[in-house]
Amino acid sequence: MSETNEFKEQVVEENTVVEEQQNVQEESTVEAEVTPELSLEEQQRVELSALELKLDEEESRYLRLRADYDNLKRRTQTERVAQEKYRAQNLLTDLLPVLDNFERALQVEAKTEDAESMKKGIEMVYRSLIEATSKEGLEPVATEGETFDPNVHHAVMQEQDDLKEVGIVLQELQKGYKLKDRVLRPAMVKVNE
Amino acid sequence: MSETNEFKEQVVEENTVVEEQQNVQEESTVEAEVTPELSLEEQQRVELSALELKLDEEESRYLRLRADYDNLKRRTQTERVAQEKYRAQNLLTDLLPVLDNFERALQVEAKTEDAESMKKGIEMVYRSLIEATSKEGLEPVATEGETFDPNVHHAVMQEQDDLKEVGIVLQELQKGYKLKDRVLRPAMVKVNE
């Protein structure tokens, strides 16, 4: 017999063993009949215990999956709400410099009637832009007269004004913006020291 | 006895019944001992069959939940991608009239140097707005010279120009916009009949 044949026969033998074990597991009553050392009652008790154990395992496997399922459902729901709440964040962040430039352009004084009428048209466009962004949840950070709040204010200058409270924002140097409860950009301010 | 008390007692009774049933299911050997009509072997066979049935049920219950779990995972993933892809849709839709008004304001001719310089400033703001929206996926619908496409074009006028192909868009009357592959607003056009 060649080595190859020997190897094949071994494999066949192993497969047969595996199949036999599977048969035993699937039809466990057959096993009972071919194991004469135990009484039928004892064999059945063994099978019963084995089945009960398997059932317990199956039940805890189900419960674990059930917990995973509920977690997944809860987590995706939370994520969906957050994703929805801040959905416009990227675009709004990109619009902040547009708003800055818009305001700067509108601060230029119109010296002629021609320029004044153009400015009026542009102011209407600006207001419609503000309306669209605020509808999506964008709002400017309150500054002058407010107590300095490091969460929404960035102090870039200090001054001393004895007529006003210490720690009050004296002047806004650049507008800050929030998207709902999230700060997109803190306001740059001058604070009373 | 008041009606409330009667109701409470009934609930208590029902709970007891449920608990008893559970006990029977959990410790089925106890049940076997109190059914003297069957031989021990027969009782055990009955229990074995019952357990095997329960195990089968438990396994298919697990498989059904597994399928539900996989479906939920796949579905939420698909939804997340779509939600992310079109996240800026509402804000962009609200910005379309802003863009319209902006373009209209910029079409006004500047007659003085004063107005001309203001217009230049505003044109820069307009370009930065276009840049921010196109970064988020907004793009105008191509019109003049294109073949009329009812998916993106809305024909509001027709004209006959023998020098041009039939069904070609002759003029754009209002800009249309797409967010990626989704049409936010079709372009209003004049078509060559």
Angle between helices B89-107 and A113-135 (to 10 degrees): 180
Would you say residue B42 has pLDDT above 80?
Answer: yes
- pLDDT tens for B133-184 read 999 999 999 999 999 999 999 999 999 999 999 999 999 999 999 999 999 9
Res A53 pLDDT > 80: yes
Q: What is residue B35's predicted lDDT score, i.e. its pLDDT?
A: 54
Q: Return d(Cα A49, Cα B48) in angstroms, integer.
A: 10
Confidence band of A7 (pLDDT split at 50, 70, 90): very low
pLDDT given for residue B170 in this prediction: 96
CA distance B24 to A10: 49
Residues of A in contact with B105 (CB under 8 A): 118, 121-122, 124-125
Closest-CA distance, B185 to chain A, in angstroms, reads 17
Cα angle: A181, vertex A186, A188; to 5 degrees = 150
Say yes or no for a CB contact (<8 Å) between A124 and B115: no
pLDDT of A110 reads 86
Chain A's closest residue to B99, CA to CA, is: A125
Give the side-chain half-sphere CA count within 13 A for A33: 5
- φ, ψ for residue B168, nearest 5 deg: -95, 145
Q: Which of B52, B84, B132 sits opposite A91 (nearest CB)?
A: B132
Nearest CA in chain A to B131: A94
CA angle B167, B171, B175 (to 5 degrees): 110
What residue of A is the nearest CA neighbor of B87?
Answer: A87
The answer to whether A114 contacts B119, with C-beta atoms less than 8 Å apart, is: no
* Residues in B touching A68 (Cβ below 8 Å): 69
pLDDT tens digits, B49-102: 999 999 999 999 999 999 999 999 999 999 999 999 999 999 999 999 999 999
- pLDDT band per the 50, 70, 90 thresholds, residue A28: very low
Size of interface A-B (CB pairs under 8 A): 164
C-alpha neighbours within 13 Å on the C-beta side of residue A77: 6
CB-based contact B112 A114, cutoff 8 Å: yes
Name all domains of chain B by residue range, CATH numbers in brackets. Answer: 3-84 (no CATH), 89-192 (2.30.22.10)
Q: How far apart are CA A143 and CA A175, in angstroms?
A: 8
The interface predicted TM-score of the complex, written ipTM, equals 0.71
Res A5 pLDDT > 90: no
Percentage of chain A modeled with pLDDT above 90: 70
Greatest Cα pair distance in chain A: 114
Tell me the chain B residues in contact with residue A107 when contact means C-beta distances shorter than 8 Å.
none
Mean pLDDT of chain A: 85
Task: Write out pLDDT tens, residues B93-133.
Answer: 999 999 999 999 899 888 899 889 889 999 999 999 999 99
Among residues A122, A127, A180, A182, the alpha carbon closest in space to that of A152 is found at A182
Q: For residue B135, give the chain A residue with the closest CA.
A: A91
Residue B113 CB partners (closer than 8 Å, separation 6+) = none
Beta partners for residue B183, in sequence order? B178
Instruction: Give dist(CA A16, CA A34) in Å, integer.
Output: 17
- Which residue of B lies nearest to A64 if distances are taken between CA atoms? B62
Helix/strand/coil (H, E, C) string of B62-83? Answer: HHHHHHHHHHHHHHHHHHHHHH
* A21 vs B188, higher pLDDT: B188
**Whole-number pLDDT of residue A18:** 39
Q: From the candidates A119, A129, A130, A180, which should be mutated to test the interface with B, based on the most B CB atoms within 10 A?
A: A129
The nearest CA of chain B is from the CA of A13 a distance in Å of: 30
Confidence of residue B36 (pLDDT cuts 50, 70, 90): low
pLDDT at B17 over 70: no
State the pLDDT at residue B28.
45
Of all residues in chain B, the one with the smallest CA distance to A120 is: B105
Distance CA(B131)–CA(B177), nearest Å, equals 14
Indicate the residue of B65, B73, B118 with minimum beta-carbon distance to A65: B65
Mean pLDDT, residues B11-22: 41
Q: Are A45 and B47 a contacting pair at CB < 8 A? A: no
pLDDT one-digit tens code per residue, A137-163: 999 999 999 999 999 999 999 999 999
Residue B34: per-residue pLDDT: 54
Among B68, B131, B136, beta carbon nearest to A69? B68
* B8 has pLDDT over 80: no
pLDDT confidence of residue B12? 41
Q: What is the pLDDT of residue B14?
A: 40
**Whether the Cβ atoms of residue B65 and residue B58 lie closer than 8 Å to each other:** no
Instruction: Kindly state the average pLDDT of the residues B21-27.
Output: 43
Q: Is the pLDDT of residue A33 over 70?
A: no
β-strands A187-192, A153-159 pairing: parallel
